[in-house]
Structure formats: structure tokens, C-alpha cells
Amino acid sequence: MDNETYKALLEDFTSILYVLAGILFILSLVIRIVHSIKVASIKDYKAKYDYLRIYENKMVWYSLLSFSIAVFLILNTFEKETVLVSQWWFVIRMFITACISTLIGYVGYLILKFYNPGKIQKKLDKWRYMPRISSTGNEMKLLSEEEEDVYLDEGMQAEENIFSVDYDVWVDEITKEIKIEKYAGYLEVLKCGTCTFQTLKLREEEIIKPATDFEDGELLKHYECTYCSSKRTTKHKIGKFLKSEKDFKLPQDYVLKGSRKVKSIMIEIISNKGEKSEFYFQSKEDAARFLEEFEYDKNPVEV
């Protein structure tokens, strides 16, 4: 290629890059703005929760992706004088800028994977626990009792990978109106006690005692941190499956979430090899029974 042709091609190439980079910068902004408008437009708290859970991280990622591609394109318009000297500089510039934008993308990916889940969980919790309003306009209160129970249907009880369901039960204390919302257990992301990132995810559930028509069952949830691999086990009561909202009867002596001081009790056991296991219990009786029966060799799941 003679020098004049190369120079002309480079001019065209640079102009195209400006346009494409501009489009991608705008796209990256538009994704964020459209997402925010969409979130703000959802009035129902549970619907907002569901939408955020699915799209929050995805949208940030798409926005970041178009941003880093835009950076890549714009960097390839730099150092035009040097690149004019030799076609090799064109290749070298391409390589260096690809490295820079991959780095931006990768750092963003790490933030989204390890740091952002905690931020999103805070947002999700905000909408999950924001007081609901009953049809008569009263502020509803969340039942506490339901928080420690998990529910399984018959099919789930038979399966190996169970994934329990959490029900939030809201009550209007004046009219006794009930509102029940269903949350899938495997969507929970918890704060890891070891690395403090919000990256603890449910890996496995184990029924240690199935629920019958007369008695509650027991279930263990095994969590593992996706960042530091530490493990946590929590124990839950399995309640009888709720077929519909109408099946639910408000207990006489119901406890509201806000009126209970202790949410859970944690026991951390550290072996002489330094392995840590955390166990969570809903009552001190459960925790005491666990310690009574605990033998390290059987650790960590045989409660």
C-alpha cells in the first residue's frame, strides 16, 4: 500500500471510529437511563423487586460493555501522527488499546461479580421489606414467624436439589387483611462472615426431617461463598405447603418482624486446621441442641 492510500484510509477509519464510539457512549448512557426509568415506573414493590433481581446487574454489565468498547474505539484515534509513520504502529496501537479496554471490562466484571451483589441485595431488601399498604389504606406489618419457616411442595420434597420457598406474610392489624408474597430460596445472597463480601450463595438443601400433615419438618441450607469458598449452614423449619393465600390462617398469637429482637444465633466452629464453619439457628434451644450433639468428625452437616 503506498503512503497516500494508507493516509486516506486512515482518515476514513478514524472518522468511522469517532461515529461508532459516539454511538456506543450514548448507548451506554441510554441503557442506564432506560433502566432507571423502568425501575421508577414499577409501582408494586414485589414487582419492582422481581425486576431488579433479574435486570439490575445485567443492565450495568451491558452499559459497561458498550462503554469499554467505546473506549477501545476512541483510543484507536489517538497518536495519529505516529501511526502514519508505519502500518506496524496501527497494529501495535490496536493491541495496546485492546489490552486497556479488556482491563476496564474485566475490572468492571469483578466489581459486578463480587461487590455489586451486596449493593443489589440492599436494594432488593429495601423493596422486600418496605411496608405494604392494604386495600383500606393502612400500613401493613410483616409477620416474623414466617421468616424462619421455609415451604416445599410435594414435588420439591422428593427432589434432590430442593430449593425452598420463603413466604412473606403481611398483615393489616386493623382489618386483619393478609397479603402473601413468595420468594425463591435460591435467590438469596448473604454476607460472608469471613471475607465480608455479599457473595454467600445457596449451594444445596438437605431435608433432615420431612414435614408431615401434623408436624413441621427440618431442613438444612448449605451456603458457599463464591469469593473465598467459606461455608455456612443454616437450619430451618419446613412448614406445610401453602396452596393458596386462602389456606393461610393468621395465628392467634402472631409475632411481627419488628417486635422480635433476635433474628438468628450464629455458632462459628474453627478446627485446629483453621477451617471455619458457621451455623445459624433461629432459637437458642436449637443452638443448644446442636452443641449438645456436635462432634467435630461429623462436621459440617450432621446436626
Binding site residues, Zn ion, CB under 5 A: 192, 194-195, 225, 227-228
Nearer CB in complex with Zn ion: 10/195: 195
**Contacts of 169 by beta carbon, 8 Å cutoff, 6+ apart:** 142, 143, 146, 178, 179, 180, 248
- Measure CA 83 to chain center: 46
Q: How far is the CB of 259 from Zn ion (least distance, A)?
A: 32
Nearer CB in complex with Zn ion: 275/285: 275
Q: How far apart are CA 129 and CA 121, in angstroms?
A: 12
Q: How far is the CB of 190 from Zn ion (least distance, A)?
A: 10
- The counts of H helices and E strands in the chain are 8, 10
- What 3-state DSSP class applies to 229? coil
Nearer CB in complex with Zn ion: 195/265: 195
DSSP readout, 44-81? SHHHHHHHHHHHHHHHHHHHHHHHHHHHHHHHTTS-HH
Q: How far is the CB of 299 from Zn ion (least distance, A)?
A: 19
Element (H, E) at 266: strand 265-270
Q: How far apart are CA 132 and CA 173, in angstroms?
A: 12
Nearer CB in complex with Zn ion: 35/232: 232
Output the nine-digit C-alpha cell for 279.
451455623
Q: How far is the CB of 164 from Zn ion (least distance, A)?
A: 22
Nearer CB in complex with Zn ion: 152/225: 225
Nearer CB in complex with Zn ion: 201/257: 201
Nearer CB in complex with Zn ion: 35/221: 221
Q: How far is the CB of 192 from Zn ion (least distance, A)?
A: 3
Residue 68: is it exposed, middle or buried by C-beta count within 10 angstroms (0-12/13-18/19+)?
A: buried
- Scanning the structure block, which residue is given the C-alpha cell 414485589? 46
Nearer CB in complex with Zn ion: 17/228: 228
Q: How far is the CB of 112 from Zn ion (least distance, A)?
A: 17
- Residue environment code for 253-264, b if the CB has 16+ CB neighbours within 10 A, otherwise e: eeeebeeeeeee
Q: How far is the CB of 227 from Zn ion (least distance, A)?
A: 5
Q: How far is the CB of 229 from Zn ion (least distance, A)?
A: 7
**Contacts of 94 by beta carbon, 8 Å cutoff, 6+ apart:** 76
Long-range contacts of 11-16 (CB under 8 A, 24+ apart): 14/77, 14/80
